[in-house]
Structure 1
């Protein structure tokens, strides 16, 4: 089949493109604003440099395409707090373009990368898809808006879709150099460089970390399934950032003193998913523990 991965030069997108390319013809659309072309090195994919904010380009790229994996976005809660307009233009305007082009080009189904951030900081754990969203950042608002757009295009135009709410994805190809780097690549590179990890807050905030290969598998399951809707994709285990840092230091074999900084605006306190719906409808089950994922990720960073 012919598939498109928007944002396919990014962390999640490139891992997804790699797996898809083993069986399908893959086109990657990415403007390289946050993605990196080196992530596609050695992959059997067609790379088109361009933005999802360009509707005419998206229409051309989607021509004759069977499935679309919409991973393109301006990531980072913190980035969205600092520049909500840019986040809105790409994550909402660009997503609308993706939907328009998919509708007009007859795409069979779209898999949309949503986010656990839509739940906000509600104290109820675990997070279930039936809960009322309470976004705390512009980024979270854009992801929730994307879900609403998908539902509308599904009901109005019959466009088939699956929205996957990712919970704290980590793994190889995650960029540690960005000022908005996620916590795991940040911790790993700090410790490998004999530096102390920096934690925003007291470190007792918890996350449900999901290994990239589980996320890739969930996307492929969604493509192959007739089921539609919104599904949590996670590991169903939560860990504090203090414990996370300790586990990473244990694997690397180096102890460093943790540095604590002020909490960041828009960050939720605790995150834990119930992935029952994904299990029932997509046959999704996480295949990697946090420890297994950390070991593979640390080895990848060492090899860089």
Structure 2
């Protein structure tokens, strides 16, 4: 896929520091070795050094010695991170004793590294649940200014003529089960920024429903209509429209018939699902029945790039997600990544 090649090339041109909290996990190590070989990121692996080295030898990984290996039981900044965690969580009753235990947890260490400026992004989830990955991220890194919701976008590469030459981005598929109109609007705008960051194209954002422009009346439709209004106010520089049925969003002839005069209808490349149930079902149907390649979910709305993996992921999936995380970090440094005002 040309876009995935472009994402990797951008990472190679400006490598960022990515922390991998599951440093002694086989697929993660293989991915780290490949990324280091490509010089697409600076890598910190969190895990017991002897275990990491043994696995590297077992799988004949030739580049792991280029990574920084951080032993979660014994590292220089342990006390400083504990103090930082107390400061960040004192309103929640965090004690120094509690913090000293948590700073031995690789997922907390990863988030604290980012908060301290010691890393630019994180990829985890090959061994941990989404909840475990997100909990320290939300406690320590938190969301972007002006953003109240975290969401997950999937990059879908299809053989269809729709979207951006067969490529569409779809959200939210992973985090917020039933967003409010305000949250849905934020998800739409954040996904637009992700499309700019990763796809390098201008988003045409469709907020999807079972109704197009009032063809059905229901409170579920009302939420999408309101979300569209809010999203347009948030991002007047983006092309956003709704409520649109999926065919009206993607197929030019249907869009022209059902939503005449819309800049988005029939040409959408970003699809915003009304809730996570529709999103999760929708993208998996496209993936399985349409033979599409799905990359992600890419987490959006965090104060720094932190991405969650499926526990069924492959080493190639992790390689792609590290490259995506590097791209997000580059964009954030250049102040191009979706802060809402």
Same fold by TM (over 0.5)?
A: no
TM-score of the pair, normalised by structure 2: 0.31
Which gives a bigger RCO, structure 1 or 2 (Cα 8 Å, sep 6+)?
A: 2
TM-score of the pair, normalised by structure 1: 0.33
